[in-house]
């Protein structure tokens, strides 16, 4: 459970960091579609880390 919690915390921190970077970069002209896709892929990976936490939590409560 500790590993799942750590992964979830890192994932939440990553999501916050990605959103802050997107906000800052959006004020400049070099924000492109490729950069947008990269941020979306990183966001998806971070949400998968959070999902893993909830699956582990569910399995622990079930058994």
Q: In the numeric block, which tokens belong to residue 54?
A: 């909830």
- Domain extent, residue 18, equals 1-62
Model confidence over 7-58: pLDDT tens digits? Answer: 999 999 999 999 999 999 888 877 788 988 999 999 999 999 999 999 999 9
pTM exceeds cut of 0.85: no
Domain count along the chain: 1
HEC letters along 1-63? CHHHHHHHHHHHHHHHHHHHHHHHHCCCCCCCHHHHHHHHHHHHHHHHHHHHHHHHHHHHHHC
């Amino acid at each position: 459970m500790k590993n799942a919690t750590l992964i979830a915390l890192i994932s939440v921190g990553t999501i916050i960091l990605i959103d802050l970077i997107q906000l800052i970069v959006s004020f400049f002209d070099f924000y492109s579609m490729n950069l947008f896709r990269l941020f979306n892929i990183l966001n998806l990976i971070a949400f998968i880390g959070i999902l893993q936490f909830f699956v582990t939590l569910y399995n622990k409560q079930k058994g």
